[in-house]
Amino acid sequence: MPKQKPASLSVRLGTLELRNPVILASGTCGYGTELEDQVDFSTLGALVAKSVTLTPRTGNPMPRVVECAAGMLNAIGLANVGVEAFCREKLPALRRLPCAVIANVAGSTAEEYLKVVARLESEAGLAGLELNVSCPNVHAGGLEFGRDPGVLGELVAAVREITRRPLWVKLTPNVTDIVPLALAAEAAGADALTVSNTLVGMRMDLEHRRPVLANVTGGLSGPAIKPVALNLVYKTAGAVKIPVIGCGGISTASDALEFLMAGESQ
């Protein structure tokens, strides 16, 4: 029997070509190096580094995480080293990873987003940028940009003006209708949409009669949110022409296939 050539799994997201569609989402893989013992990065299409902000953030008080049925809540609060240290200390190791690396940018004002993107422009070795406009765990910014199509469009357009890198926008599921936001990001020049971030939730501590998380609420992730994310991918993919990146509760190959099918089926 003739030897079969392995099927090509490569995908194209605008100008960016990835060897396969498997991407580690922002926040699940730190700055990459933390997982070097556990993950063979050459098997991945890309990884999205954890959110980086203009200045370092220590994050929220503890407790920051709590387990739920089929998932977890987190309220880390965008703990990160800040863009300067990210470029100096984290990027060198990220660049050496044998997969595409996407930086994820967060801010509490449009100016902060722009300053971070501008700083990253002077660095080589980033395959693209993802805008986090959907963090539910910080009081100012984040989610506020992700809930209003007008505000979101302005932010994406402003970032689009200062970078030619592939630009992804990570949308929030915490809205009545995701479609106007997806359309706004597309119209403003986004190359792809990541759908979606975590769902806002909380848990109570029965013994102490108070919320478990110091931040009161957190973002729900894990298998629990997969059906919600699937539906949002289905809706978004039906409304926009740019690629949609499925995200939420994916832990097996069949989970990933469900997302690919949901995106194709409209």
Partner 1 sequence: MLAELLSIRRFGPYAHLVLAAPAIARRARPGQFVEVRLSGEGAPFWRRPFSICRAADGRVELLIKARGRGSALLAALGPGAKVDVLGPLGKGFTLTGKTPRLLVGGGYGIAPLLFLAQVLKAKKIPVEVFIGGRCEEDLLLRREMKLAGAKVTCSTEDGSVGFQGRVTMPLEVRLRQTPSPVRLAACGPHGLLQAVTRLAQTYQVPAEVSLETVLACGLGVCNGCVVKIKGEYQRVCKDGPVFSAQDVDWHA
Stretch that binds partner 1, among 58-66, 105-113, 146-154, 168-176 (CB under 8 A): 58-66
Cα separation, 155 vs 223, whole angstroms: 31
User: For partner 1, which is the closer residue by CB, 18 or 75?
Assistant: 75
Instruction: Return the DSSP state at 255.
Output: H
Nearest to 198 by CA among 171, 167, 233, 176: 171
Stretch that binds partner 1, among 73-81, 88-96, 107-115, 237-245 (CB under 8 A): 73-81
CB 30 within 8 A of CB 54: no
CB 127 within 8 A of CB 97: no
Half-sphere CA count of 211, side-chain side, radius 13 A = 15
Per CB under 8 A, 93 contacts partner 1: no
The count of chain residues that interact with partner 1, using the rule CB under 8 A, is 25
Strand pairing of 46-48 and 204-205? unpaired
Per CB under 8 A, 101 contacts partner 1: no
Stretch that binds partner 1, among 14-22, 26-34, 135-143, 173-181 (CB under 8 A): 26-34
Per CB under 8 A, 222 contacts partner 1: yes
Per CB under 8 A, 205 contacts partner 1: no
Per CB under 8 A, 226 contacts partner 1: no
Q: Which of 29, 87, 135, 247 is catalytic?
A: 135
Does residue 135 carry a catalytic annotation? Answer: yes
Least distance to partner 1 from the beta carbon of 34, Å? 4
Stretch that binds partner 1, among 63-71, 99-107, 126-134, 225-233 (CB under 8 A): 63-71
Per CB under 8 A, 142 contacts partner 1: no
With a CB cutoff of 8 Å and minimum separation 6, the contacts of 193 are 168, 169, 170, 171, 182, 185, 186, 236, 240, 242, 243, 244, 245
The neighbour count for residue 159, using CB atoms within 10 Å, is 24
Per CB under 8 A, 58 contacts partner 1: yes
Cis peptide before 63 (omega within 30 of 0): yes
Per CB under 8 A, 252 contacts partner 1: no
C-alpha distance from residue 66 to each of 59, 143, 202, 213 (Å): 16, 21, 9, 7
Per CB under 8 A, 206 contacts partner 1: no
User: For partner 1, which is the closer residue by CB, 117 or 225?
Assistant: 225
β partners of residue 72: 67, 221
Instruction: Rule CB under 8 A: choose which of 23, 52, 54, 76 binds partner 1.
Output: 76
Interface residues toward partner 1, by CB under 8 A: 27-30, 34-35, 38, 58-59, 62-72, 74, 76, 79, 222-223
Catalytically annotated residues: 135
